[in-house]
Amino acid sequence: MIGNNGRPVYGPDGKVVKIKTRMADGRLADGTPQPLYFPLEHPQAGVFKGMSIILKERGLLKESNLKAQCKDFKCKKGVSDCCCRRVLYMQPNFIQGESRLETLCKKQGFNVLFLPKFHCKLNFIEQCWGYAKHVYQEYPASSKEVDLEHNVVSALESVPLVSM
């Protein structure tokens, strides 16, 4: 958890305090909100309903009986009804929906760019580092620590701000 001063908040045990953030409600086909958690008057108040119940509320009875997810979250290509998870992710409001992170960042005037995990060719840091390494290789070889440090700093500073 981040405090008002921008620094982490620590609990009495010295660990960073974590806050669970609930998912925003979904929307049914007619536009009405669909709460993803049981209401206060329910015996399981505040608990996530689960994919099967959410699908039933959407009128997808047959799909609500599917397995929760495919093995290792790897659904077969081109299949849209193999598991509850895939069926939910194919629903229009899940496809077009905006995450809370995106909503919060937009309010603050920032854009969010989601890149594929572990893909170095699209990773921002790897792109900057690759550019700097290319520039560094153009400098003359040296064994002097002062020259090496100057070349590293110069190469890193050469990464165009526009490309970041």
Same domain, 92 and 47: yes
The answer to whether position 116 is within a domain reads no
Tell whether pTM > 0.75. no
* Residue at 158 is within a domain: yes
The pLDDT, as a whole number, for residue 83 is 94
Choice between 120 and 59, residue whose per-residue pLDDT is larger:
59
In a domain? residue 113:
no
**Whether residue 65 is found in the same domain as residue 38:** yes
Tokens 């206060």 locate to: 40
Q: How far, in Å, CA of 164 to CA of 141, rounded?
A: 28
> Of 107, 136, 155, which marks where a domain is finished?
107
> pLDDT (tens digit, 9 = 90+) per residue, 25-83?
888 888 899 999 999 999 999 999 999 999 999 999 999 999 999 999 899 998 889 99
138 and 92, same domain (yes or no): no
Residue 21 is assigned to a structural domain of this protein? no
Q: In terms of domains, do 132 and 82 share one?
A: no
| C-alpha–C-alpha distance, residues 139 and 147, integer Å | 10
Q: Do residue 137 and residue 103 come from a single domain?
A: no
**CA-based nearest residue to 58, from 83, 74, 81, 35:** 35
- Pair 55, 30 in one domain: yes
Indicate the number of domains in the chain: 2
Report d(CA 63, CA 48) in Å as an integer. 19
Domain interval for residue 88? 26-107
In a domain, residue 57? The reply is yes
- Model confidence at 156: pLDDT above 70: yes
